[in-house]
């Protein structure tokens, strides 16, 4: 079996415009995320918003098994026709892993059909990520919880559809909880939302977070199920008379 | 408790343009649907596509607890800003019941995030609607299955998210099956998709179908849960020091 | 519509054997729970473990729409044939609301098929109950979260099947989270697990907790769906030749 | 990665007592099922009811990643302590694939908590198995539907909990439908129910059926998530004062 082909997409602006972020992620958030995935043996490329077609050409997507998406301040700069293209690819089987503030990305809101609203607070408080579905492959190799020392808080109610599987719930020192690992089937594709990963914290260097992303890529990998076309079936499969009213 | 306020929305063009449809539904599909709901004691109004703002003004929606939606040939004529408005109302708690060919309506596709594709065939074959969740309130008062003598066929795979509850599965004489009763939570609102109801068949006069719609209105009625706003929570609920990096 | 008939079942031993519990619940946990339900207009009776047949005679159950169950230290004293009887009634449509330490009751473990294991700690820490499905009728009338000043902690992973709907998640001061409001369909019946309610704390006098129980009784009320018998259907519904091999 | 270790368990009595079954399955149902799995590269063993401890010793289970279970006429002969043992292993991570008439096995009913009742008819009618979740790995490599020329019919309502994922729905010539491929998470383990496989039909030689079982073994394979113990956590994870009442 050849390696899964992963594309890590990042807005890529915070790192250039905000010195503090650049210090934490000198190779960009995408660089740190890609490093973790490469260590796991995946074939990893990266792309950023400011490339032509946002780096998400038909060709690039055709060579992608699983796409990771980090965005925050420039959701509106993502062109609608590129969102259409990504959505079509997900519904045709490409895995999609939506990271942190990309809960407000066009592609995630498009696939959820809801506001994706939430509460947020930036005081660098402690987060504990608890496993609530220990049988799920995205929990593979994880302890029952792990701590992220400093993170942005996201709090419920989170304006998403009920996940098809809920894998993680986060606890925050300031008093909130959050559904942090949410699995969805959409068409022939799989979507995973993972909460942690604020740009000012070294979250994507943390071993447990990398384990989650590795597991998620494997879970979201395309499988070869039947398509979901619209079809006018003129002839019945079984012998049925046409009714003349 | 005052009666639930129901708005039955219909495209309303088939009935005028196609004599055969007009014979089956002389008062429109909305008229027949509304009659069934009125018998159940709901306060029912109707609206059609060709009214100003499609009859879906802010005011009309503000007075609606549950909206039923029938559309088929003119999905594209529904203006996007009206779809935005209806979506916002659903996410704020208004119930939505999506009927038959409205699987391809803008509002349903918007709330699902998927293609909503399916197979279809129009030979007037027999449909059997089977209850698969007998505990669900939408199955109240129903036998384990009922027959619709002649209907359009819809077949799987149906390009929808996995329902939060699946209440009905249809059997078709020609060989297909279909998830015919699908419940979804979206924001503060509830959405129910119900498959039967082709414009050339007297489906909406059938007692079991009316029972389903009555049950669905009760299930989809707004409840007064908390809102799902986006909120910047500046202060933690618990006493947590701000981290200075 | 006549009032729903509710039976509040309690082990009823803590209150007699432990003075501290008796002070908090002088009329028993069942007494306090029943009071809250009576205020909401339900027709409420109570029963305790030490009554003949644990107060759960065929006749008592036949007159019950929704059964609430509180147990803790004497799960093993509940006779298996009574558990069989309650299970059969739930599968035939009676609602069941399982409270706090009754996660380890025979009836809940029987209906879940899992260990129902969890973490626990008794230091009277603060609990925050967050609504995560604002559209669910059990969240009716609730704010986005409410505080229980002192409670026993229950922590994940909780050994239950994924809920059909997850309504509440609890945050605990000591660092844990818990799926605190879990809905299940079982046969023709509905089951709701609600976490709070330790015997040494006045939880069942709290307005939000009473609101949850009132909502849960309404949600779990029997509906008249089809039965789920085992049936040898000798004749096909459709005309199909018998195959002779 | 070493091969998954699969144990195919079969009652193994029909084949000996009923000549017609012996002709279809000369090496037993387990033999045919095992052959298909071996072709896919799994390490496969078999066991039958009449072996000591039904062939399900602690040691045998300890060496099993995924257990397949076929039973029909002798469910009551399976000893309860062996059922306890299998259940404990499933909840600790072993995959379980429940086949056809094993819907009434003790182990399946135990893990579901429901009656698992259904309708049935034995006229050798045609079954069509439709894929309804094309993204699910158990649908890998399958067309949108496949035909089993002659099978026993199973019909809804099927007395199971709502599946965590529903992969297949069957259509029967005689008029019924059935949820034929049902996924459940239970503890650290995964359970898949697959409907087809009556003892008098050559179903387990059919390519699509073998593909489903191969996919199901891979999906149900153990992953190394955290355990689900009951734990008295004496000390809080966070610094919280003990409340003194």
A121 contacts B233? CB cut-off 8 A: yes
A177 contacts C130? CB cut-off 8 A: yes
Is B107 within the bounds of a domain?
yes
Separation between Cα atoms, residue A64 and residue A51, nearest integer Å? 17
Residue A11: left (phi > 0), alpha (psi -120 to 50), or beta? alpha
**Residue C178: predicted pLDDT:** 98
Among B63, B55, B61, B10, residue whose Cα is nearest residue B32: B10
**CATH number of B36's domain:** 3.40.50.880
pLDDT, one tens digit for every residue, chain D (245 residues)? 689 999 999 999 999 999 999 999 999 999 999 999 999 999 999 999 999 999 999 999 999 999 999 999 999 999 999 999 999 999 999 999 999 999 999 999 999 999 999 999 999 999 999 999 999 999 999 999 999 999 999 999 999 999 999 999 999 999 999 999 999 999 999 999 999 999 999 999 999 999 999 999 999 999 999 999 999 999 999 998 788 76
Opening angle at CA B136, ends C180 and D98, nearest 5: 80
Residue of A nearest to C143 (CA): A157
Whether the predicted pLDDT of C1 surpasses 70? no
Q: How many CA atoms lie within 13 A of A68 on its CB side?
A: 34
Phi first, then psi, for residue C103 (nearest 5°) are -55, -25
How would residue A1 be classed by pLDDT, with cut points 50, 70 and 90?
low
Does the beta carbon of C48 lie under 8 angstroms from any beta carbon of chain B?
no
pLDDT in tens, B168-179: 999 999 999 999
Residue of D nearest to C185 (CA): D161
Block residue for tokens 């559209």: C135
Is D58 within the bounds of a domain?
yes
Nearest to C144 among A132, A157, A171 (CB): A157
D170 contacts B132? CB cut-off 8 A: no
Phi first, then psi, for residue D43 (nearest 5°) are -90, 110
**Residue D122: predicted pLDDT:** 96
Find out whether D163 and D179 touch, Cβ atoms under 8 Å: yes
Q: Can you give the pTM of this predicted structure? A: 0.98
Share of chain C above pLDDT 90, in %: 96
**Residue B242: predicted pLDDT:** 80
Q: How many domains does chain D have?
A: 1
Residue A57: left (phi > 0), alpha (psi -120 to 50), or beta? beta
Is D16 within the bounds of a domain?
yes
Neighbours of B30 (CB within 10 A): 25
pLDDT in tens, C58-109: 999 999 999 999 999 999 999 999 999 999 999 999 999 999 999 999 999 9
Evaluate whether ipTM surpasses 0.95.
Answer: yes
Q: Which residues contact A218 (CB under 8 A, 6 or more apart)?
A: A4, A137
Whether the predicted pLDDT of B1 surpasses 70? no
Is A132 within the bounds of a domain?
no
Average pLDDT of the residues of chain C: 97
Does the beta carbon of C166 lie under 8 angstroms from any beta carbon of chain A?
yes
C230 contacts D118? CB cut-off 8 A: yes
Q: Which two tokens stand for residue D95?
A: 């995959």
Query: Average pLDDT, stretch B128-149?
Result: 98
pLDDT in tens, A157-171: 999 999 999 999 999
Average pLDDT of the residues of chain A: 97
Task: Supply the DSSP symbol for A217.
Answer: H
Average pLDDT of the residues of chain B: 97
- Which D residues in the span 128-157 are in contact with C, Cβ-Cβ below 8 Å? 150, 153, 155, 157
In this complex, how many residue pairs, one in chain A and one in chain C, have their CB atoms less than 8 Å apart? 62
**Residue D1: predicted pLDDT:** 60
Is D215 within the bounds of a domain?
yes
**Residue C2: predicted pLDDT:** 83
Separation between Cα atoms, residue A12 and residue A240, nearest integer Å? 59
Q: How many CA atoms lie within 13 A of D224 on its CB side?
A: 6
Whether the predicted pLDDT of A198 surpasses 80? yes
Share of chain B above pLDDT 70, in %: 99
Neighbours of A35 (CB within 10 A): 15
Is B81 within the bounds of a domain?
yes
Find out whether A60 and A47 touch, Cβ atoms under 8 Å: yes
Is A58 within the bounds of a domain?
yes
Is A142 within the bounds of a domain?
no
Structural domain harbouring D37: 5-114+181-220
């Amino acid at each position: 079996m050849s390696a899964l082909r992963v594309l890590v997409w990042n807005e890529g602006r915070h790192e250039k415009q905000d010195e503090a972020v650049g210090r934490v992620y000198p190779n960009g958030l995408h660089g740190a995320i890609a490093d973790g995935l490469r260590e796991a043996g995946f074939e990893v490329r990266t792309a950023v918003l400011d490339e032509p077609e946002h780096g998400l050409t038909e060709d690039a997507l055709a060579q992608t098994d699983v796409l990771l998406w980090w965005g925050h301040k420039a959701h509106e700069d993502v062109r609608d026709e590129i969102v259409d293209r990504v959505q079509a690819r997900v519904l045709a089987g490409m895995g999609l892993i939506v990271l942190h503030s990309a809960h407000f990305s066009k592609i995630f809101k498009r696939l959820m059909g809801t506001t994706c609203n939430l509460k947020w607070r930036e005081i660098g408080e402690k987060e504990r990520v608890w496993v609530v579905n220990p049988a799920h492959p995205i929990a593979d190799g994880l302890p029952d919880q792990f701590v992220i020392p400093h993170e942005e808080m996201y709090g419920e109610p989170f304006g998403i559809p009920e996940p098809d599987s809920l894998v993680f719930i986060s606890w925050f020192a300031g008093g909130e909880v959050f559904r942090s690992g949410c699995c969805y089937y959409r068409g022939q594709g799989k979507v995973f939302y993972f909460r942690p990963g604020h740009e000012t914290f070294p979250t994507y260097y943390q071993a447990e977070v990398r384990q989650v992303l590795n597991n998620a890529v494997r879970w979201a990998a395309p499988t070869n199920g039947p398509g979901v076309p619209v079809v006018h079936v003129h002839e019945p499969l079984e012998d049925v008379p046409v009714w003349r009213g």
